[in-house]
A and B are shown apart, each in its own frame.
Chain A
Amino acid sequence: MTDALDLLLAALLVIAGGFGLIGSYGLIRLREGMQRLHAPTKASTVGLGAALLVSMLHGLGTGTGFSWQELLVMIFIFVTAPISANYLSKLHLHLRRAELDLPETGTARDWATFDHQPEPAEPSLPRRDT
């Protein structure tokens, strides 16, 4: 394994570990529920991305070749992390509205996530007459 690639992979591994630890430490360090969303959804994702990058590049040095499979996990994680973060913030807004002290919208409407969503009508299934 060449020295440059060796150095690059080691640096990426240290970056991955650092970001992963920062993300998890922020989860217990930040004070308020909404703030706590920041650390894991961003820092941990970057840490995992760096670890997957190392896994992709590692084959170049050992002779097994560049592997594309980790790219799938990376894309999947990067796509789904904002979705779960969005769901979690909605959960905070809906369950803890009284204590959250939300700012005013400035218009007559409330925040869009509190819009009344009518229940969908029950589909009328065909009944079997016995």
Chain B
Amino acid sequence: MIPYALGFAFACFGAGLLLNLWRLARGPAMADRILALDTMVVNTIALIVLYGIATGTGINFEAAMLFAMTGFVGTVAFCKFQLRGSVIE
């Protein structure tokens, strides 16, 4: 049963990435685009984790952790730059 559920989850997160890409291209305000990027990071981490389940290797954990960290720092840096005009003051 798990392979079918895994396929469903893969399809859902992949479709989610496409929807985020739509918002990233269209988003009227800058915050919408940053939010779309942040959600893309979350969906990509989910895809990496699902790939790790599918292949049965534990090596994807480091990739997920790195992606989580850089995604968070990137979001905060984008917001900070928009708010204050510089990232590190």
With an 8 Å Cβ cutoff, the count of chain B residues facing the other chain is 52
**B42 touching A91, Cβ below 8 Å:** no
**B12 touching A87, Cβ below 8 Å:** no
Main secondary structure of the interface of A (DSSP, over half): helix
Q: How far, in whole Å, are A11 and B9 apart by their CA atoms in the complex?
A: 11
**A24 touching B17, Cβ below 8 Å:** yes
Give me 30 A-to-B residue pairs in the complex whose CB atoms sit less than 8 angstroms apart, sorted by A's number.
A9-B2, A9-B5, A10-B5, A16-B9, A17-B5, A20-B9, A20-B16, A20-B42, A21-B12, A24-B17, A24-B43, A27-B35, A28-B23, A33-B28, A44-B16, A44-B43, A45-B42, A48-B42, A51-B9, A51-B49, A64-B56, A64-B58, A67-B58, A76-B68, A76-B69, A76-B72, A83-B76, A87-B76, A87-B83, A96-B31
B: residues with CB less than 8 A from A are 1-2, 4-6, 8-13, 15-17, 19-20, 22-23, 26, 28-32, 34-36, 38-39, 42-43, 45-46, 49-50, 52-53, 56, 58, 61, 64-65, 68-69, 72, 75-76, 79-80, 82-83, 89
